[in-house]
Amino acid sequence: MRKGQNPAKFVKDVAHPERITVALLNYIPFLSGFYAEALDVLKVSLESMHVDAGLPFDLMVFDNGSCAEVRDYLVKEKEEGRVQYLILSEKNMGKGGAWNVMLTGAPGEIISYTDADVLFSPKWLSRSVEILETFPKVGMVTARPFRTPPEFYEGTLKWAKENAVLDEGQFIPWKTFLEFNLSLGQTEEENVKVYAETKDWRVQYKGVSALAGASHWQFTAYKSTLAQFLPFDMDKPMGQVRQLDRRMNDAGLLRLMVSDPLAMNMSNTLGYLRGELGGGNVKSKKGKGFARRVLEIGFVKKVLLAVYNKIFNWYYS
C-alpha cells in the first residue's frame, strides 16, 4: 500500500537536453599490449572535445564492454558532470550494435559521433554544424580534411556540379595529408606518390567552403538523417563500418569535410602528442634496426599477427 505522494509529482520543470549530443564509442578490454595507453588516449580525447567546441553539447559515452579500470573512470566522469549520459554494456556489441543504441537513443537533434581516439581542436563542433546547416541534403560532416575513396562521395560531386562552385586541386596541404596517414601506420615514402597522383574537391555554397568526403570515425549529422540507415546489421566487431559511408552516398546525401584539420586520429598511443608523428620523425626502412626489419617481412608479420589474433580471441571472444 502506498504511503504519501511521490515527490516527483510536485516538480514543475524538467531539464532539457542540448540540441547537440556528442556520442563517443569506447572499447578498452585491458590495459596492456595494444591497449597499454588507450585509457590515456580516451582521457585526452574527452578533455580536448570540451576545449572551445564552439557550441554547447551534451556528451553521451557508450562503453562497449571495457575493463573495470576504464568503467570506473567513466563513472567518475559521469558523477562529476563531464559526461551527461553513460551506457555501460556488459559485452562488446560491435560498432554496429553500439551505433544502433547510440544513434537511436541520443536525445539531441544533431548527433556528433566520434571514436574514442580522436583529438579535437577549437571550434571543431561549430565549424561542422555550420556546414551541416548551410548545405542541403547533408548526410555527414567530418571535422578534418583527408583523402577518402572517391566512390563514397560520387553523390556529393554530382550535386555540386549542378548547384555549387566545384574546384579540383591540391587543397589539403602535404603536412596535413601526411600526419593523418602516418597515424594509420603508413610511412612517408608510400604517401609521396599517393599525394602527387590524387586530388581534392572543394565545394563552395552560400559563402561556406567544404571538401568532398567524410568518414565513419568522426562525423556530425542530423539524428533524423541517421535514422534512415538504422538498424545496422554487422556480424563482426569491426571492418564493416563503411556501410554507412556507402549507403549515404547511394542515397544521394552530401558527405563533406571542414577545410582545415580540427580532428586528429591518435590511434592507440599518445605518440602524436609526443611528436612521434611527422615528416621529420619518420625513419626510412634503411634506418630501422635489424629486428624491426625482420618483423616487417611479409610472412613473419602475417604469422605473428595471426597468433596475436588467436590469443586475443581466446580471452575476449
What's the whole-number mean pLDDT along residues 14-19? 86
**Is it the case that residue 19 has pLDDT exceeding 90?**
yes
The b-or-e profile of 245-271 (16+ CB within 10 A means b, else e) is beebbeeebbbbbbbebbbbbbbebeb
Verify that 78 and 205 share a domain, yes or no: yes
Instruction: Look up the domain containing 123 and give its range.
Output: 20-265
> 275 in a domain, yes or no?
no
Rounded to 5 degrees, φ, ψ at 264 are: -140, 135
In a domain, 217, yes or no: yes
Question: Within a domain: residue 15?
Answer: no
Q: How many domains does the chain have?
A: 2
Show the DSSP H helices in the chain as ranges. Answer: 38-50, 68-79, 94-105, 124-134, 154-163, 174-183, 188-197, 223-226, 242-250, 290-295, 298-316
| DSSP annotation string for 17-33 | --SEEEEEEE----SSG
Q: Which of 12-16, 20-24, 77-81, 196-200 shows the lowest per-residue confidence on average (mean pLDDT)?
A: 12-16
The alpha carbon of 122 is separated from its chain's Cα centroid by a whole number of angstroms, namely 16
My answer on whether 261 and 289 are in the same domain is no
Q: Are residues 289 and 260 in the same domain?
A: no
Residues 186-197: what's their mean pLDDT?
92
For residues 68 and 104, state if they share a domain. Answer: yes
Does residue 132 lie in a domain region? yes
Both 212 and 301 in one domain: the answer is no
Asked if residue 305 has pLDDT above 70, the reply is no
Q: What pLDDT is stored for residue 8 in this prediction?
A: 64
**Co-location of 307 and 197 in the same domain:** no
What are the residues whose beta carbons fall under 8 Å from the beta carbon of 244, sequence distance 6 or more? Answer: 99, 140, 216, 229, 232
Domain shared by 214 and 242, yes or no: yes
CA 107, chain centre distance (Å)? 19
Tell me if 278 is assigned to some domain: no
**Residue 298 above 70 pLDDT?**
no
User: For residues 56 and 16, which has the higher predicted lDDT (pLDDT)?
Assistant: 56
Tell me, yes or no, whether 307 lies in a domain.
yes
- The reply to whether 311 and 250 lie within a common domain is no
| Mean per-residue pLDDT, 201-210 | 98
| pLDDT confidence bin for 10, thresholds 50/70/90 | low
Query: How far is residue 293 CA from its own chain's centroid?
Result: 31
pLDDT band at 262 (very low <50, low <70, confident <90, very high): very high
- Of the listed ranges 117-126, 159-168, 187-196, 199-208, the one predicted with least confidence: 187-196
Over residues 112-130, the pLDDT tens digits come to: 999 999 999 999 999 999 9
The pLDDT, as a whole number, for residue 275 is: 84
Pairwise pLDDT comparison (50 vs 1), residue with the higher score: 50
- Cβ–Cβ < 8 Å for 41, 64: no
33 and 165 housed in the same domain: yes
Residue 92: all three cell numbers together: 562488446
Q: Which helix (H) or strand (E) holds 167?
A: strand 165-169
Question: Does residue 87 sit within a domain?
Answer: yes
CATH of residue 114? 3.90.550.10
**Segment 179-192 mean pLDDT:** 91
300 and 157 in a single domain? The answer is no
Residue 244, pLDDT score: 87
Which distant-in-sequence residues (6+ apart) come within 8 Å of 218 by Cβ?
A: 112, 113, 114, 115, 118, 142, 143, 144, 263
Quote the pLDDT of residue 1.
72
Average pLDDT over residues 206-233: 94
Q: Name the residue with cell 586530388.
A: 199
Average pLDDT, the chain: 88
Q: Say if strands 20-26 and 110-115 run parallel, antiparallel, or are unpaired.
A: parallel
pTM: 0.85
CA dist., res. 279 & res. 75, Å (int): 39
173 and 40 co-located in one domain: yes
Alpha carbons 68 and 110: distance in angstroms, whole number: 31
Task: Indicate whether 161 and 88 sit together in one domain.
Answer: yes
277 is a domain residue: no
